Copies of this chain bind each other. A is one copy, B any other.
Amino acid sequence: MSGKIRAVICGASGYTGAELLRILCSHPKVEVVAATSEKSANKPVTDLFPHLSQYSSLTLEPLNIEPLLDKGDVFFMALPHGASQKAVNSLYEHGKRIIDLSADFRLRDPVVYEKWYKEKHGYHTALSSAVYGLPELYRESIKNAKLVANPGCYPTSAILALFPALTQKIVNTADIVIDSKSGVSGAGRKADLALSFCEVNNGFKAYGVSTHRHTPEIEQELSVIAGTDIKVSFTPHLIPVNRGMLSTVYAKLKTDIAIDDVSAIYNDAYKNEPFVKVLPKGMFPDTRYVSGTNYCHIGLSINHNKTLIVVSAIDNLIKGASGQAVQNMNLMFGYDETTALESLSPVVP
């Protein structure tokens, strides 16, 4: 297996873990050498995920950092928020390269972290070295990062929707509204009455109204982009589909600008991006066409109230989690950024 890097996936029994496994098995330069899970320790991966038959010889093991240190070149951490901190820090102190899919290293200010996550952040050194893993914003830093904080799904969809408009300063930074909708897999793989089929099917609802933890993450990155403090109104909604995420973003235009000029700004901003596609004028994304892929589709409109409306769609588990993590890994290890990602195609219908 010479020439392959060895990947370890910690917290592999969830949906993001399964997607990491699925994506990496078609990566010519990566071998998954270990996968951990507390609840499912000692079970073969294929017991949990029968569709991943390529991993018939991989058995889940309890998370135990010491023996893993020599095994892996890159560590994908898909642990719950809070639980990730310590494990990531151990790896970090041993000089390992880490992609953390939890929220623990995304917020640069530990005070903000503690406020929203109701938990102390004990590893300020590691935190201060973490790079926010959105390639469209931080590609160069990701290449050399030891620790990449893989973005949340909602932030990915919201930031990509606003990045060109804020960079070009065509919209007010006050009173931006981000109305987001997510498929159910975003809530994770777990036994929970509220997530059971009969409780979710046939309905939809807002949740985490004014309190969702992705709010400060979105605000942090938009503020960096705009060079000024931004507060947003962000509301997530639960939609009865497995995958897919749509953010409808409203921002007041500062000046009289034509939709074609806004389109030009967006196309220019993303012209070299392999996974962001600005749709032609008058077209808006349908999550069906990004589900199963690492793409973000963006549609643009200006309404009669001088408001820019941006609609962005991603697959919450891929561009919103595991696909983006592999994209980051590709950057970190000098591979073509699209390896194992471009071949992911939506299964339509």
A206 touches B248 (CB 8 A): yes
Q: Beyond A205-B285, A307-B175, is A242–B198 a contact (Cβ under 8 Å)?
A: yes
A250 CA / B250 CA spacing, docked (Å): 10
How far, in whole Å, are A250 and B178 apart by their CA atoms in the complex? 10
Instruction: Flag if A347 contacts B291 (CB, 8 Å).
Output: yes
Report the Cα distance A153→B252, complex, angstroms.
26
Q: How far is the CA of A193 from the CA of B47 in the complex (A)?
A: 14
Are B184 and A193 closer than 8 Å at their CB atoms?
A: no
The size class of the interface chain A forms with chain B is: 35 or more
User: A residues 49-64 with Cβ under 8 Å of B?
Assistant: 49-51
Is A304 part of the binding interface, using a Cβ–Cβ cutoff of 8 Å? yes
Within 8 A of B (CB), among A263-309: 284-289, 291-293, 299, 301-305, 307, 309
Contacts of A348 in B (CB 8 A): 18, 49, 51
Q: CB-nearest residue of chain B relative to A241?
A: B202
Residues of B contacting A198 in the complex (Cβ-Cβ under 8 angstroms): 15, 184-185, 189, 195, 242, 349
Partner pick for A195 among B197, B209, B248, B288, CB 8 A cutoff: B197
Q: Are B193 and A193 in contact (CB under 8 A)?
A: no
Complex contact A240–B237 (CB within 8 A): no
